[in-house]
């Protein structure tokens, strides 16, 4: 496991234990997001998401990360360090 430090909204939840079938992934120099497993993506539901303790699932992998802007008026930025096993080198927004 490696650590990544980044800035995001304090209401994002990056605890893998809270989301069965989801894997936390790091985007180099940006932050982290959850990749949801097949059980959660049937019927075209989003695979790469964020989870917010105030609003639930956010259907954008960079939602509420520094530079991406807040999804709502509650955005409150903090610095966070998270341990992850898998890294991706680029952001594919499709």
DSSP for 16-65 reads GGGSTTEEEEEETTTEEEEEEPHHHHGGG--SEEEEETTTEEES-TTTTB
> pTM value?
0.87
The pLDDT tens digits of the residues spanning 46-75 come to 999 999 999 999 999 999 998 777 888 999
Name 16's Cβ contacts closer than 8 Å, sequence gap at least 6: 22, 23, 24, 34
Nearest-Å Rg of the Cα atoms of the chain is 12
The pLDDT tens digits of the residues spanning 8-53 come to 999 999 999 999 999 999 988 789 999 999 989 988 999 999 999 9
């Amino acid at each position: 496991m490696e650590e990544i430090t980044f800035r995001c909204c304090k209401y994002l939840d990056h605890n893998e234990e809270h989301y069965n079938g989801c894997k936390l992934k790091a985007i180099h120099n940006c932050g982290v997001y959850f990749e949801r497993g097949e059980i959660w993506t049937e019927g075209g539901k989003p695979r790469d998401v964020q989870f917010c303790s105030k609003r639930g699932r956010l259907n954008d992998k960079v939602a509420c990360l520094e530079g991406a802007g807040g999804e709502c008026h509650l955005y409150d930025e903090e610095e966070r360090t998270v341990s992850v096993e898998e890294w991706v080198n680029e952001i594919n927004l499709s």
